[in-house]
Amino acid sequence: MADNKIDQAVNWLLPIYSQSSELNVSSLNATLRKSLRMLADKFRLSFKQDDVGNIYITGAGRDPELSPLGVCFPLDGSTFPGAFEGALRTFLALQNRSFSCGISLIGWSSPAGKSLGHDVWEGRISLEESLSQAPDLKQFSSMDSFSSFGMSALFEIVVTQEATISIRGGPILVQKAANAAQRPVKTQSEGQTPRRAPEVKIEGREAVSVGRATVELYSKYIAALFDNFD
């Protein structure tokens, strides 16, 4: 996608995202949720929600048998817009490319700054526990189960003022991100494997360019991995 279109989308949505910190932090950012649906419609992308209120905006890949790669951010109550800007810019920049895997922009339900949507999706807490902590999430109970939204990997891409890129996550993803950076980086590999998908967090001033390149590299890795099983 052209840079000017990406800038327009960011300039439109970033203030809406940031306003969640000015509202009651226990509430959901309904305005942003509606605006993200409009974004999906504008660019003819799939828009879905699960039963814990997570949002998935997806551009299809060439191979429908491969689960998408998710670029994710906390959706509600966040006081740090760098996570949203990084995810949005990375996702939109990848929309003019063709990948074997689909690419999803994932907004995790996060009322009161709690990562409930991500925690439920990953299996760290139950759906029932999330609803007891945030009753507002009950409005999504008729949506498809969170368990039906599979991902090949998750990428958290955070724009900060730090010149040095920081990379933390699963060993393979950390290595792919370090290769994509093509510059000295800080890395930290986490030994514990997530239950559903490997994850990586990329932070820094150039996080978007590194994140975009990492997604591209990992998509090729996933495609080659599955080709070997054929």
The Cα–Cα gap between 199 and 201 comes to 7
CATH number of the domain where residue 41 is located: 3.40.630.10
- Residues 33-46: tens digit of each pLDDT: 999 999 999 999 99
pLDDT (0 to 100) of residue 141? 97
Q: What Å distances lie between residue 47 and 38, 66, 113, 118, 215, CA to CA? A: 9, 18, 23, 18, 20
Q: Is the pLDDT of residue 194 over 80?
A: no
pTM of the model: 0.94
**Residue 177: which domain range?**
1-228
- Residue range 50-104, pLDDT digits in tens: 999 999 999 999 999 999 999 999 999 767 799 999 999 999 999 988 999 999 9
Contact (Cβ atoms closer than 8 angstroms) between residue 152 and residue 101: yes
Partners of 154 in beta bridges:
70, 199
The CA-based dihedral angle spanning residues 110, 112, 114, 117, taken in that order and rounded to the nearest 10 degrees: -30
**How many folded domains does the chain comprise?**
1
